[in-house]
Amino acid sequence: MNRPAPDIAVLLVEDNPTDALLIEEALRDITEFRPQLLHVERVSDAVMTVQTSHVDVVLLDLALPDGQGLDTFRRFHSLAPGLPVVVLTGLEDTSVGVQAIHEGAQDYLLKRDIGALLLARTVRYAMERHRVAGALAASEERFQLAVSGASAGLWDWNPQTDAMYMSSQFKALVGYEEDELPNERSAHWQAIHPDDVGRVSAALEAHLARRNDFDVEYRVYRKSGELRWVHSRGQALWDDSGTPHRMVGWLIDITDRKKNEGALRASREELQRLTAYIQEVREEEKARVARELHEGFGQQLTALKLAVNRIGQDFQRPDTDGTELARSLHAVYPMIDNLIESVRQTAAHLRPAMLDDLGLVAAIDWLTSDFIARSGIHLSSHIDVEGIAFSRESRVEVFRIVQESLTNVVRHSAASEVTLEIVRDDPNCTVRIADNGRGAAPDAVQGSRSLGLAGLRERAAQFGGEIQVRTAPGAGFEVIAILPLAGLVTGK
């Protein structure tokens, strides 16, 4: 099925009646489209017509009552730049028509050569060329906006001649004005840091020879001598024989990114160093605890062992009565109590070295991170102790309260979540550790002599504080240490 010929609105700007008649007759003979002719005799009338009527193409004579030569085209084109124009000239010299094309016309025709076929081809060509030029201009505008927004510099290199176009943004990145840097690859190559030239050259050669990606970061010296980091990417074009004949790419400044990466790397290294130091301190602390336990409890354990052996021997004697055995057991009980008290005292006087190096908040942050990693229990914390001048002793005891409470959670609660709060609540500092574990009957913890709660109560009592416990079966376990600020500041 043949499509109907399209309508094309043609504006003829011609003051010579004979020439106008010849062009109208040629238009009537065209079969590939239906010309809708509009005819005026002046540039001013043409401008008014395109402002009030739809026009697809303009046939513009260069000799009119209100315009002569190229000035006729320039005047119309400046007032109606969005229309394709074919200039008409009666001169044999085609240079005027060529010059008009250079200044924005789509084509030119000699009046003596006008016929239906030539005129039809010229009109269609002018409209298509104008459409393509408009699309290309819009595409270039979008590209330039994108490049400008990204602060990228463009480069276009000819591998055969070594000529290299560098955009104004490119030159500005390396500190040069538009006319200061010659359009040669060597001009940019000389600005690359000597230690990076080999790497950039290798990337370029790999791209041209094996079509690897050209994507490289390197350092360049600006005109001022300042050293900057840049990131460059490019893509070559190869002919049918595989020879690269053009390569286009972009360049951006990444100095700030490199500085941030360096700062992040230094921070990670410092964190690794600090972690290793803390681990070392922990190992030293463990070794010291072992030494103190060994030295402090050795004699008591030996005495306890002798006493137990003696009781065992008494059991084997046939003449041993119950009273004598009871006296032996009563002699052992104080030794056991002394041993337990020694354990407590030794633990109470241990000083975690990292508290002196990191401070209380940082040490508890480490403790909670270690707790999460070891137990797999989710922990949320809120620590706000600004303005509390903890003494060295109170820092240690607050740390121990948190440490022992978290240890009890792992051992006894079967919890999946823990909340830790340490806040200033004048005139006290409140330490709260709550879990969502199995809980316990309230009566079971009132006056409890378990080592866990007993140790917490003793630590709080050193500063005039107290331990409150809230719990119920299946409702979790909450320990609240209420510590007077006056005691925390002055120490024990």
**CATH (domain of 370):** 3.30.565.10
What would the pLDDT profile of 125-175 be if each residue is shown by its tens digit?
888 888 887 777 777 677 666 666 556 788 889 998 888 888 888 888 888
In angstroms, the CA 420 to CA 292 distance is: 31
Domain boundary (220, 253, 286) is at: 253
Within-domain flag for 242 = yes
Dihedral angle computed from the Cα positions of residues 268, 269, 275 and 277, in that order, rounded to the nearest 10 degrees:
-160
Count of Cβ atoms closer than 10 Å to residue 239 Cβ: 9
Within-domain flag for 228 = yes
pLDDT score for 351: 45
Mean pLDDT computed over 18-29: 90
In angstroms, the CA 63 to CA 69 distance is: 6
Same domain for 326 and 313? yes
Number of domains forming the structure of the chain: 4
Same domain for 102 and 30? yes
pLDDT score for 331: 63
pTM, rounded to two decimals:
0.37
Of 177-186, 191-200, 269-278, 401-410, where does mean pLDDT reach its minimum?
269-278
What would the pLDDT profile of 162-218 be if each residue is shown by its tens digit?
888 888 888 888 888 878 888 888 888 999 999 999 999 999 999 999 999 999 999
Residue of 218, 223, 138 lying closest to 180 (CA atoms) = 223
Confirm if 429 and 483 have CB atoms less than 8 A apart: yes
Within-domain flag for 316 = yes
Domain boundary (110, 129, 146) is at: 146
Percent of the chain with pLDDT over 90: 29
> Per-residue pLDDT for 324 more than 70?
no
Within-domain flag for 469 = yes
Q: 131 is in which domain, residue-wise?
A: 7-146
Same domain for 376 and 293? no
* Residues whose CB is less than 8 angstroms from the CB of residue 423 and which lie 6 or more positions away in sequence, other chains included: 382, 383, 384, 385, 429, 430
Same domain for 215 and 291? no
Q: Which residue has the higher pLDDT, 389 or 355?
A: 389
Domain boundary (103, 127, 146) is at: 146
Same domain for 80 and 196? no
Same domain for 384 and 306? no
Same domain for 86 and 189? no
Same domain for 155 and 55? no
Same domain for 442 and 365? yes
Within-domain flag for 260 = no
Within-domain flag for 269 = no
What would the pLDDT profile of 442-458 be if each residue is shown by its tens digit?
776 765 555 567 778 88
Reported as a pLDDT band with limits 50, 70 and 90, residue 293 is low
Within-domain flag for 261 = no
Q: Which residue has the higher pLDDT, 278 or 46?
A: 46
Same domain for 433 and 468? yes
Same domain for 14 and 139? yes
Within-domain flag for 259 = no
**DSSP classification of residue 368:** H
